[in-house]
Structures are given as structure tokens and as C-alpha cells.
Amino acid sequence: MMKLSILLVCYNHEQYIEQCLQGIIIQKAGFDFEVVIADDYSTDQTVSIIKDALNEHKIDYNLLESAENLGLEGNYKRGFKACRGEYIAVMEGDDYWTNPNRLQKHIDFLDSHRECSMSFNRLIVFNEETSDYSVKEWLLIDNFDYITSRQLASGNQLGNLSACVFRNDIMKKLKPELFEIKIADWMLAMAFGQFGFIGILKDAMSVYRIHKGGLWSKQNRIAQIDFILENIDMYNKYLDNHYNAEFIALKRKLKHELHAVKGKAKTNSLIDYIPPLIIGMAKALFPIIIIQKLKKLL
């Protein structure tokens, strides 16, 4: 059996796909692997760029043909089904890997930690608009940690599928209705957590790109919270209500945040209606404390 399948998921990513592919090409893996290309009917040059690069470097690949846009869940479903490897490493077309030993590190970890159903590594978050990079601090002595579905039900701690590696035998055990609901890294990890721990690797080896075209990152915080609240009950049902208390607490927390965010947005929008000249005159005529109170009232 092939050791690893890299599931490359893409849609109109020609702007980013070369950097994404470079992260695959640089891998120094002591095992055989394939690339399964799940392209969701791109209308740009994404597929041509992928084929040229993989052919040039003689990397085995399987291009899944499509005559229409399948959507995120449909595209992932057929992609996972086509993977032949013992493990599946996900790569989304607008992300990239930075460490040439990344795949080897994940496979070594999972081979020696059979108690884990999947693994993921720390992220480097790149904000395209501000050109800022950030990495969450690692506070442990060990080079890895465990997380459970119960912990994830209290809030997403993954952040990106391109940081994940899954056991394919467990992928085949998942209830098929998983792909009939809106999923992403959070829900998929909770589903895998039903079959074992989720391993977290210390090394930050992949970049999650925040940009205006991203399915998640293009949404403002209000839209993101609304999405979670709309789907959380379906997630709870899929997981047989095992984490009902955690989901209820998370919903309460998100509703509180939503109220605060909407209140702030309303205040900011009212301030925007006041002409700058009036604001400038008020600052000149009144103490700063009065201006601050005025802003709170508005």
C-alpha cells in the first residue's frame, strides 16, 4: 500500500499555486507518495500550472476531472475517496509548506503514536493585506501534545486543513453524511477525534494565507460567527450529542461576542455619519472626556 496521498484541493488559485506546489516539491520523504488533485472546476490556469510542475519533477499524480463546480464539501468528499495512501496530507491551493521534512515528521509521529487518529502542526499565519506573519507561542517542554474532540467542541484550535495529516483507514470509517453538512478543519478534526487523540506537532511547518479570496478569511467576524451558530447543532447531531455541554457553552460565548461585535459596528457606523469638520470643531471646543462620552452614546 502506498504510504501517503497528498490531497491538493484548489479552485482558481493560479495566483498562489506555484508557491503551494513548491512546498510539495521540496519534501524529502523516505517513502512513496502520490498527489491527488481535487480541482473544483477552475476557470483560470490553476490546473495547467499544476500539471506542468508535477510532470517536470516526475511526481505521480491523479487529476480528478469535473465538468461543474462541486462546492467545498463535494470536492473534498471525492478527493478523500480517491486517496490510496495509508495517510492523507491535505494541501489547499492558497497555502504552502515551508519545511522539507514536514511530511516525514508527521509520518514518523503517526507511525509511532498509534493512539492518534490524525496530527497537525503549528501554523504560520500570513496576512496578505498587512504582510504580517504570526505564530502561536509553544509553551510546552515536549515537541508534541494531544488534544481531544471534547476540547475542540469548546472552540477550534486547528485553524487550517493544510496543517493536517489523517489516517486513511479512519477516513473510511466516518459516517458519509459528514459531507452533507458544512465542514472545515474544525468539524473534520472532531469527527476524527472519535477514533483517537489528535496529535499536535510543535514545529511551525505550514503557512495559512489570509486573503480577500479565502472562503473563511474573506468574511468579517459577524459572518464567521453566524456561520458557526447556523451549523453547530448539525455538528452536535453528527457527533451523537456527546459534547452537548461544550457546544451549548460555545454557543453562549459566540452569541455574547456577536452582540458585542454588532454593537461596536453600530457605534462606528453612526460616528461615520458625523462630518470630519464637526468632529474637529468639537475636539477644539470640548475636553477629550466629553468627546469620548459622545462616542459611547453614538
Fold for domain 4-218? Spore Coat Polysaccharide Biosynthesis Protein SpsA; Chain A (3.90.550)
| DSSP states along 58-117 | T--EEEE--SS--HHHHHHHHHHHH--SSEEEEEETT-EE--TTHHHHHHHHHHH-TTEE
Give tens-digit pLDDT for 80-121.
999 999 999 999 999 999 999 999 999 999 999 999 999 999
* Cβ atoms 164, 95 nearer than 8 A: no
What confidence tier does 273 reach under pLDDT thresholds 50, 70, 90? very low
What confidence tier does 42 reach under pLDDT thresholds 50, 70, 90? very high
What confidence tier does 266 reach under pLDDT thresholds 50, 70, 90? low
What confidence tier does 157 reach under pLDDT thresholds 50, 70, 90? confident
**Residue 297, pLDDT score:** 46
Give tens-digit pLDDT for 224-251.
788 888 889 999 999 999 999 999 999 9
**Residue 212, pLDDT score:** 76
* Cβ atoms 160, 90 nearer than 8 A: no
What confidence tier does 271 reach under pLDDT thresholds 50, 70, 90? very low
Prediction pTM value: 0.85
295 pLDDT above the threshold of 50: no
Q: Which residue has the higher pLDDT, 8 or 274?
A: 8
149 pLDDT above the threshold of 70: yes
CA 45/CA 42 separation, integer angstroms: 8
Average confidence (pLDDT) over 256-266: 79
Average confidence (pLDDT) over 51-71: 94
What confidence tier does 261 reach under pLDDT thresholds 50, 70, 90? confident
Domain boundaries defined on the chain: 4-218, 256-297
Cα dihedral 110, 50, 37, 152 sign: positive
136 pLDDT above the threshold of 70: yes
Q: Which residue has the higher pLDDT, 148 or 176?
A: 148
**Residue 218, pLDDT score:** 62
Per cent of the chain over pLDDT 70 is 86
Average pLDDT over the chain reads: 88
Cα dihedral 241, 244, 250, 252 sign: positive
- The one-letter code for the residue type at 94 is D
